[in-house]
Amino acid sequence: MNEVVVDASVAARWFESSRVRGAPEAQALLADYELGALSVIVPPLLFFELLNVAGRRWGWTEAALLGLTTRLDALRLDVVDPDLSRVAVWTARGLTAYDAAYVALAEERAVPLVTDDQQMLAIAGAIARPMKAR
């Protein structure tokens, strides 16, 4: 089974309209996960980032946000804390500590990080991969 780390720029598209750029590719990745063809690993902060985006940027109501937590729980993603020293290394290279957590986790697990974050792609190009169309 293939494994990947996904960041919030990808996971957010699982819950957005399909008209958003990159949503079809993110939805295809989620479908592969749900079919058991892909293992998705995330740091715990992914859930906070998704709630923040849905509440602040998309303006979701309390009920919608509570529904999101239920949907996230139902996904049963593989949640792993990254090594703090690796996060520090990637932060020193120019990433926020939040973004560095995803890169550090992918590096530790020796799997790709799937992201739409251009800064992560530029700084951690050996680990980070853009979403691909099918």
Task: Tell me the two tokens of residue 101.
Answer: 């957590």
Task: Tell me the two tokens of residue 6.
Answer: 């996904």
Percentage of the chain exceeding pLDDT 90? 89
Matching residue, tokens 């998705």: 40
Whether the model pTM is above 0.75: yes
Task: Tell me the two tokens of residue 31.
Answer: 């479908």
Average pLDDT over every residue of 1-25:
87
The confidence score (pLDDT) of residue 58 equals 93
Contacts of 132 (CB under 8 A, 6+ apart): 25
Structural contact between residues 114 and 26, judged by C-beta atoms closer than 8 angstroms: no
Helices 97-109 and 84-92: crossing angle in degrees, nearest 10, is: 120
Domain spans of the chain, in order of start = 2-130
Instruction: Please give the class, per CATH, of domain 2-130.
Output: alpha beta
